[in-house]
Amino acid sequence: MWNPFRRKEKALQQPTSRGGWMSLIHEPFAGAWQRNLEINQTTVLSFHAVFACISLIASDIAKMPVRLMRRDSNGIWKENNNGKVAAIYRRPNAFQNRMQFFECWLNSKLCYGNTVVLKIRNTRGEITELRILDWNKVTPLVADDGSVFYQINPDNMTGVESSVTVPAREVIHDRFNCLFHPLIGLSPIYAAGLAAMQGHHIQENSAFFFRNGSKPSGVIEVPGSISEENARILKNNWDTGYTGENAGKTAMLSNGAKYNPISMSADDAKVVEQLQMSEKIVCSTFHVPAYKAGVGELPSYDNIEALEQQYYSQSLQTLIESIELLLDEAFELEGDTGTEFDVNALLRMDSERRIKTLGEGVKNTILTPNEARRSENLPPVAGGDELYLQQQNFSLGALARRDASDDPFGKSSSSAPSQPASDEGKALSDAEQSAAKAMLRGLLTK
């Protein structure tokens, strides 16, 4: 790829904050790196709560179909499946389908706080593909005049064969939690790293404990004095005969020697409570309800829609709307055209509540029967494209005109011709007379 901005590289600078933003991301607190307390990202990602939150959010958003929407003459947004943009939404590039693409998008954003997507254009300058870059191979640069560029190191998956610097208009940069620089986002791992490392160490210690036959470490107490050589021999004999695979075997101690365990028990260390605390801290940084990640108690009330709505509003909505806006800007969609994720794939009610809601929509002239059937993936029926409304209530004026007529209950309506509608006191229509008869029959039968 050619680079028309090579001559400006001397004027470009990498965004930094005090001490550099890279060091800030990997340091859990001030002075931690001097004490060898770095947050290892690979270790953090292996903690089950972190993995569960990232995979849950990425998969939930990826399963929502992304649609190109167009507003019709009535102001109603409808899906438009035609055109190159809609085709790219269905298949963003040659090696990823829609779900794989957006999972990769969210994984990068949640792990690194940044997602950079390169626009692949044809000879006419039209976007034909979108390819997600490895954030570790991208460096944002700022020119003296404030222009933003991105230096991209070689990456075979995206077709970049040599280091190249491109202007900001050639990439889509999705970022959040920009605490230190507006071009550099921060992952929730920045806040969850210490809790995740704690949980990892708890599990690591438990694994070692059970690998040692669930036997705590300890000391051998010998009365009186003992030479260094004899102490070494005693320790080696104990390690050889009663640890590892031999843990739990019967030991023989002489001359008043006594074995005293010194490791704190799991109950004394409150291991379960500490692990649960680490899990809940991780979930809170990702704004994911703990039960969603499988580490918390299920809610006591049974309202699936309300629970999903809460999860959507506090965890997914910002991520979804950010992607929609960035895609609109990338394809220059404005006015009556836009991008939208179909959140109905997530906010789907239980079958009983869904059918009741659709029935109320038809009854209150919000939906036609065929629109309600379409939402349930059912074919249309004859006459189902019209709105329906029950006729059962009458105005006081209509009832007054009925009572003022010579035949208020329409006893002779079958023989006498209907009177034309006029001023006050005009006869009721056939429908009004039928309704009045029904009301009278109901009163008489009581």
Read off the pTM.
0.70
CA gap 80, 67 in Å, rounded: 7
Burial 266-281 (b: 16+ CB within 10 A, else e): beeeebeeebbebbeb
Q: Give the closest residue to 285 by CA, choosing from 393, 192, 376, 348.
A: 192
Query: Rounded to whole angstroms, what are the CA distances from 77 to 116, 124, 339?
Result: 29, 30, 11
Mind listing the pLDDT tens digit of every residue in the chain (446 residues)?
Answer: 334 334 344 445 666 543 334 433 455 555 655 566 666 778 889 899 999 999 999 999 999 999 999 988 878 888 898 899 999 999 999 999 999 999 999 999 999 999 999 999 999 999 999 999 999 999 999 999 999 999 999 988 888 888 999 999 999 999 999 999 999 999 999 899 888 888 888 888 777 666 655 555 666 677 777 777 877 877 777 677 666 565 556 666 666 677 666 555 556 557 788 888 999 999 999 999 999 998 878 887 767 778 888 899 999 999 999 999 999 999 999 889 999 999 887 776 567 777 888 888 888 888 888 888 888 878 888 888 888 887 777 888 888 888 888 887 776 655 555 555 444 444 556 666 666 666 655 544 54
Q: What is the pLDDT of residue 87?
A: 95
- Kindly list the distances between the CA atom of residue 162 and the CA atoms of 122, 151, 165, in Å, as whole numbers in the listed order: 19, 11, 10
Please list the residues that pair with 167 across neighbouring strands: 149
- Rg of the chain's alpha carbons, rounded to an integer? 36
Runs of H (alpha helix) within 2-97: 21-26, 41-46, 48-62, 84-90
Query: C-alpha distances in angstroms, 406 versus 92, 354, 382, 411?
Result: 75, 50, 42, 10
pLDDT at 421: 47
Amino acid 323 reads I
Strand partners, 131: 118
Q: What is the pLDDT of residue 298?
A: 81
Confidence at residue 149, expressed as pLDDT on a 0 to 100 scale: 96
Q: What is the pLDDT of residue 15?
A: 63
**Cα–Cα distance between 105 and 130 in angstroms, integer?**
11
CA dihedral 50, 52, 57, 59 (to 10 degrees): 140
Quote the CA–CA distance of 332 and 193 in Å, as a whole number.
38
